[in-house]
Amino acid sequence: MIYIGIDVAKDKHDCFITNSEGEILFNAFTIPNNADGFNDLYQKISSLTNDFSNIKVGLEATGHYNYNLLGFLIDKGLPTFVINPLHTNLFRKSLSLRQTKTDKVDARTIALMMMSGVNLQSYSDTSYHNEELKSLTRYRFDKVKERAKLKTSVSRLINILFPELEKIVPTLHMVSVYTLLAELPSSSQIASCHLTHLTKLLQNASKGHYGKEKAIEIRNSARQSIGSSMPAKSLELKHTIRLIQELTSEIDEIETSIQSIMDSIHSPILSIPGINYRMGAMIIAEIGDFNRFSSPDKILAYAGLSPSTYQSGQLDGSYSHMEKRGSRYLRYALFNATKFVCIWDDTFAAYLAKKRAEGKHYNVAISHAAKKLVRVIYQMERTGQPYNRKE
């Protein structure tokens, strides 16, 4: 067996190649992060063997820096393993007590780690191409988070300019309210607006839901408002609403792409009541290839949902907290999906009620239900069977 360790960086990659007997086939060498460098590495590997099943390539998970090299290796048919940097750091420390860390040393460490027989799953073609779905779901997550902050700013500005408005509409964050405030961003402007124009504005924005009565109510409230007349704040409100509208349009476009991918992969996860395209896609994207995990517990550990363990001598950590060391995106998706599944599915609703009856806090009970959900999803994805809803 031939082992190849690669330490990935932005502009170059350090490589080390050895075999099962510990013979150094290629001492630590550096390749540039470009097509010539990739081909140089491939030629060196090809010069050693034509049987790629006897090769294991290991590289650290270094965010986007390893993505192009990873794709190149997979396309060439080389079994490639992506390793958590925490694991390689601990392995390097186990080899020596000396503080020795260089890129070339790291490449050798990765190769030795591969040689040690540590339990790793190769990065499959499915996992690599799943990155597109992961990129979209994470991009959407960031956009939604950005929009939520802007909505908080809108609430703050309305509280300054027209605080009474909040009590006469179901929510400030609706199309009709945004349309109104984008054109008339203060109580004084609304108060002086002609009733016909105000009525038409609300009717069009609400698609006929609001009419003359609501226009009169809003205008009368504006005329008695304690809101401040601050042109600077009004301008900020207009711009903030415009940014929210642009973000919403972008999020809709992202969600269309996510739905297209989910429709093409036919994941049974969408058959679970309460899991929609957004949360289902995020769970699938973060887990990737389910064959990488030998059991649901491995996915729980990856999500950071498994309890931490502390035991030393006679001290045993009985009240363990979740590790929260894995994918925060997966943890977020599982928690949110579980809340809805517990609403829409009787089996999960009963399980949540049972945990609550045991005296567990709601969030703790949800974490137990999330673990149950992971086991169900794991079985469904491995078998391809849809969710069996018990009546």
> Which pLDDT score, from 0 to 100, does residue 97 have?
46
Return the half-sphere exposure (C-beta side, CA atoms, 13 A cut-off) of residue 106: 21
Question: What is the reported pTM?
Answer: 0.73
At 224, which helix (H) or strand (E)?
none
DSSP output for 362-376: HHHHHHHHHHHHHHH
How far apart, in whole angstroms, are the C-alpha atoms of residue 277 and residue 98? 50
Neighbours of 375 (CB within 10 A): 14
Q: Phi and psi dihedrals of 143, rounded to 5? A: -65, -40
H helix intervals, 53-161: 67-75, 85-95, 103-115, 125-129, 131-161
Nearby residues of 146 by Cβ (< 8 Å), 6 or more positions away: 247
Instruction: Output the pLDDT for position 311.
Output: 45
pLDDT in tens, the chain (391 residues): 999 999 998 899 999 999 988 899 999 999 999 999 999 999 999 999 989 989 999 888 777 788 889 889 988 999 988 887 767 777 766 665 455 557 678 888 888 888 876 656 666 555 666 778 999 999 999 999 999 999 999 999 999 999 999 999 999 999 999 999 999 999 999 999 999 999 999 999 999 999 999 999 999 999 999 999 999 999 999 999 999 999 999 999 999 999 999 998 889 999 999 999 999 999 999 988 888 788 999 898 888 876 544 444 444 444 455 555 567 899 999 999 999 999 999 999 999 999 999 999 999 999 999 999 999 999 999 999 999 876 5
